[in-house]
Structure 1
Amino acid sequence: MAEGVMVQAVIFDLDGTLVATDRFWPDAARAGALRAFKDLGWDRDLPDGSVWMGMVGQPLEEAFEAAFPELAAADRKHLLDCCVEEEHRLLDEGRAGLLPGVIETLRQLDGMGVPLGVASNCSQGYLDALLGGLRISKWIREARCLDSPGISNKAGMIADLLLTFGTRHAVMVGDRQGDRDAAWANGLPHVHLYRGYAQWGESVSAEATIGGIDCLPEVLVRRTRAIDQVLSKLEVPGGAATIGVLGRRCSGVRDLARDVAARLKAAGREVQSLDGYGWLRDPDEVAEQDPDDPLVAVSEALDLNQADLALSAPLDEGCLRVVALPFGLHPSLLSSLERVIWADGTPEVLERRLRGEFSSLGGSRRMEWVRDQVWPLELAMTRAFPPSRLAHLTVDLSNALEPRVTLAPGPD
């Protein structure tokens, strides 16, 4: 069975991740500073290269304010404008270049059918000049910057790209802490390129770390291998059967179910996929749920009749039904499942994904509903019906790039 990439989008930072900004920015900044200092009659030393490179990846207005706090706003703007003008002059002269392995990696991922995006704290002119001038725009389906409509920061760029791509099953790749923060603000895993432009002492913890962009495909295929390991340990029946993927909200149930179905299809099985989250009733129409009576609460939150009709529908011989199932520990749901996978994650990661999923949609009320109603009810269900006894496998999805499989005792 050929290995593929499970994520449905990859979003890249630009400077220090795809582009070798050190080839032009320090020289441009020094030239611009010399011009500005002369124009304004300043007699002062130029910052060294580490100061200029420390600005890379940040919004330039903020970076210049941090580097030159003593300057009046108008003088600082003139300095910035001169540096940007010199930067574009060098770009027009062809000084920009890509980091090693970029073309090969973009071509490989695009060939796998993975949508690629860029999120950069730059202007539209800079973005267009680099994507076009370095001839990588043919692989980048969408790009966002600080000039993009409705965008004020990198987290907003990523949120907009996810909406455009129509998926949250994505990964962010970058070299600075700000890239990681923007990824986590959207509940996404982050791949840190440690040979980029992160400054001394800038700690960037991430789901994966790579020394070069050419290492990225190998990192992304780890999830594929983990899913294959899940299926190997699950001992998937050869005949018709229903596989339920259960777990707490925001643990990654739906993405895991989607990936399980994809790998079964790649192995030649006929697969029917169901998203049981469509059976949830509108929370605005459901009374406050009592976790002390979880079975009744689940019957109010989830349309069990609709679920039963879907899960009891006959399957063709040899066909597998893979269903992402909220509140799947309910006995009436479990009874329809031949195999059960329980998805889990740390509270910190679940909270991060919750914020990422709903904050970009302006869904503060839905976040409160999950925290105050759904999670307590799910916890009550796990106490009444322990996954450790009822699931065949537990999959820790705290690191979405590299799920960890744990064998459970399984049903009797």
Structure 2
Amino acid sequence: MFGTKRKPEALIFDLDGTLFQTETLLLPAYHATFAQLRAEGRYTGETPPERHILGALGMVLKHIWHEVMPEVDESVHRRADELLTAYQIEGLARGEGTLYDGVAGTLKALRDRGMRLFVASNGLEPYVKGVIRTQGLEPLFETEGLYSAGQYQTRSKVDLVKRLLETHGVADAWMVGDRSSDVEAGHCNGLFTVGCDYAGFGKSAELDKADARISRFEQLLDLIES
């Protein structure tokens, strides 16, 4: 155990692979991004396999593109940022993208129990806020409680969570996410960590250091009450 398990005043959630089934929105946008890069003459060749971007989820976009297309210029990475975000926002406006089973009901139950709810994501601000808004979850989260690396230009999720805790005066929280970066962000800030073991984006041992693991999002309620 790295964090102490006690009933928290707040929960901080990762977004992709934790609340939101990222691939339902990401993959169509991913293919559209490479089609446009080719049309602009910025990229040649086939679109890299989907596993490359899915395996890199949880990183900041700068590092994701180094994994997906390490051979191209940084300017192409930045254009890919713009395109991917724009296509995902367009997809959200069309009603694309799906939450994991039980997310909406569980978040409402947590809020009804008086928990303060936050998001800390390595994504870009328009994407993070767009997902929460279009999925109808915005009223459940704290005002100004959606934190993204894109908005605050943080170097790591450790720094992002630290900023969130300090800004909102949170003394005791749980960090909930599906990647090792979420576990690290929680432990480095003295938080109890919950690993979400249902997205399948990361390596099998990635959540070994989490203080607890859940295979369905609803199990979070039982974990808090136990």
**Identity across aligned pairs (percent)?**
25
Q: Write the deviation string for residues 277-321 of structure 1: whole angstroms up to 9, x where unpaired.
A: xxxxxxxxxxxxxxxxxxxxxxxxxxxxxxxxxxxxxxxxxxxxx
Provide the secondary structure at the position in 2 that maps to 1:24. helix
Note the aligned Cα RMSD (angstroms).
1.8
Structure 1 equivalent of residue 57 of structure 2 = 56
* Separation in structure 2 between the aligned mates of residue 216 and residue 193 of structure 1, nearest angstrom: 9
Q: How many residues are treated as equivalent by the alignment?
A: 218
* Separation in structure 2 between the aligned mates of residue 190 and residue 103 of structure 1, nearest angstrom: 20
1:157 aligns with 2:160: yes
1:96 aligns with 2:97: yes
Give the TM-score of the pair, scaled to structure 1. 0.50
* Separation in structure 2 between the aligned mates of residue 48 and residue 106 of structure 1, nearest angstrom: 34
Map 1:21-100; keep pairs closer than 5 Å: 21-40=22-41, 42-100=43-101
Amino acid across the alignment from 1:65: H
Structure 2 equivalent of residue 208 of structure 1 = 212
Structure 1 equivalent of residue 3 of structure 2 = none
Give the TM-score of the pair, scaled to structure 2. 0.89
1:219 aligns with 2:220: no
Structure 1 equivalent of residue 202 of structure 2 = 199
Structure 2 equivalent of residue 108 of structure 1 = 109
Contact 1:24 1:96 in 2 (8 A): yes
Displacement of 1:134 in angstroms is 0.7
Highest relative contact order (Cα 8 Å, sep 6+), 1 or 2? 2
Map 1:321-360; keep pairs closer than 5 Å: none
1:123 aligns with 2:124: yes
Displacement of 1:42 in angstroms is 4.2
Map 1:206-355; keep pairs closer than 5 Å: 206-222=210-226
Contact 1:177 1:198 in 2 (8 A): no
* Separation in structure 2 between the aligned mates of residue 77 and residue 149 of structure 1, nearest angstrom: 17
Displacement of 1:37 in angstroms is 1.8
Displacement of 1:140 in angstroms is 0.8
CA distance 1:43–1:162, change in 2 (3 Å) = closer
* Separation in structure 1 between the aligned mates of residue 153 and residue 53 of structure 2, nearest angstrom: 28
1:171 aligns with 2:179: no
1:9 aligns with 2:13: no
Contact 2:178 2:197 in 1 (8 A): yes
CA distance 1:107–1:41, change in 2 (3 Å) = closer
- Runs of 5+ in structure 2 lacking a partner? 1-5
Q: Write the deviation string for residues 179-216 of structure 1: whole angstroms up to 9, x where unpaired.
A: 11111111111100011243234521211000111100
- Runs of 5+ in structure 1 lacking a partner? 223-412
Structure 1 equivalent of residue 135 of structure 2 = 134
Displacement of 1:85 in angstroms is 2.2
Q: Write the deviation string for residues 136-170 of structure 1: whole angstroms up to 9, x where unpaired.
A: 01111112111344744311221122224423321
Structure 1 equivalent of residue 189 of structure 2 = 186
Provide the secondary structure at the position in 2 that maps to 1:10. strand
Structure 2 equivalent of residue 328 of structure 1 = none
Provide the secondary structure at the position in 1 that maps to 2:119. strand
* Separation in structure 2 between the aligned mates of residue 149 and residue 193 of structure 1, nearest angstrom: 25
Contact 1:177 1:202 in 2 (8 A): no
CA distance 1:113–1:161, change in 2 (3 Å) = same
Provide the secondary structure at the position in 2 that maps to 1:192. strand
Displacement of 1:41 in angstroms is 6.1
CA distance 1:60–1:96, change in 2 (3 Å) = same
